[in-house]
Amino acid sequence: MIYPGNGHCFVGLGPEEIGDPPVAEILDYEKEIKAEYRERLGPRVDLVNPLAGTIFPNFSLLRAAGRTFRVWHPKGPDAVEIWSWNFVDKAAAPQVKEAFRLAAIRGFSPSGTFEQDDMDNWQGCSQAGRGTVSRRQKLNIQMGIGHEGFDERLNAWTSEARLSESNHREYYPRWAQLMAGTEWA
């Protein structure tokens, strides 16, 4: 996990790990464009291999199941409306665009075999958090404490763990600051 502060973050993989959906057209395409994007974006691009991420506060990207981005619209304490898009390179061949489109619909959409389960999880979390006993507790976001460090090359904080709550500890204070403050406005 890599997070530069202010609540932004992404979950990254090792440089040689594959972050794309296991679809031949997509994997071949990514190999094909690697040299070009390295040339255009410079060698620092090899420092990160993003899987999923959020630009604070409600814009998220996902690479692991097609190419999707979404905007989360809070609709009160028990509801979130999600707008999601599928994006592809304009210059990609039609069959590559189609592969990305289908990977997103079949993997990460309301019916997607990954995402349909996520909604069930979130609903379960909200229901569990609503109970009297749960409400007496503070939300625990300690995961990954003590396994974080600042990476000079990335100019960002990183966690040794791929999944941690390191960015939760940045995200919620920033959110509370913006909700309560007037100095920033």
Partner 1 sequence: MRDETIREIEQFLYREARLLDDRKFHEWLELLTDDIRYWMPVRSNRYPVNSKAISILDGSRYEENELSKEGELAIMDEDKDSLTRRVDRLDTGMAWAEDPPSRTRHMVSNVLLEPGDKDSELKVYSNFIMYRTRAETEVDFYVGAREDVIRKEDGQWKVAYRKIILDQTVLLAKNVSNFF
Shorter beta-carbon distance to partner 1: residue 110 or 173:
110
**Shortest distance, CB of residue 26 to partner 1, whole angstroms?**
15
**Shortest distance, CB of residue 116 to partner 1, whole angstroms?**
4
Stretch (H or E) spanning 173:
helix 168-180
How far is the CA of 20 from the CAs of 28, 127, 175, in angstroms? Answer: 10, 33, 31
Shorter beta-carbon distance to partner 1: residue 42 or 94:
94
CA angle 136, 172, 56 (to 5 degrees): 150
Backbone angles phi, psi at 111, to 5 degrees: -95, -5
Q: How far is Cα 5 from Cα 171, in angstroms, rounded to an integer?
A: 8
**Chosen residue from 102, 143, 161, 178 binding partner 1 by CB under 8 A:** 102
Residue 61, both tokens: 């990207």
**Shortest distance, CB of residue 121 to partner 1, whole angstroms?**
7
Q: How far is Cα 13 from Cα 47, in angstroms, rounded to an integer?
A: 10
Q: Mark 104-133 with x for binding to partner 1 (rule: CB under 8 A) and - for no binding.
A: xxx--xxx-x-xxx-xxxxx----------
Shorter beta-carbon distance to partner 1: residue 111 or 134:
111
Q: Which stretch binds partner 1 (CB under 8 A): 48-56, 80-88, 137-145, 169-177?
A: 80-88
Do 2 and 9 meet the contact criterion of CB atoms below 8 Å apart?
A: yes
**Shortest distance, CB of residue 56 to partner 1, whole angstroms?**
24
Regarding 101 and contact with partner 1 (CB under 8 A), the answer is: yes
Shorter beta-carbon distance to partner 1: residue 116 or 177:
116
Do 62 and 52 meet the contact criterion of CB atoms below 8 Å apart?
A: yes
Q: How far is Cα 34 from Cα 43, in angstroms, rounded to an integer?
A: 11
Regarding 98 and contact with partner 1 (CB under 8 A), the answer is: yes
For partner 1, the binding residues (CB under 8 A) are: 81, 85-86, 98, 101-102, 104-106, 109-111, 113, 115-117, 119-123
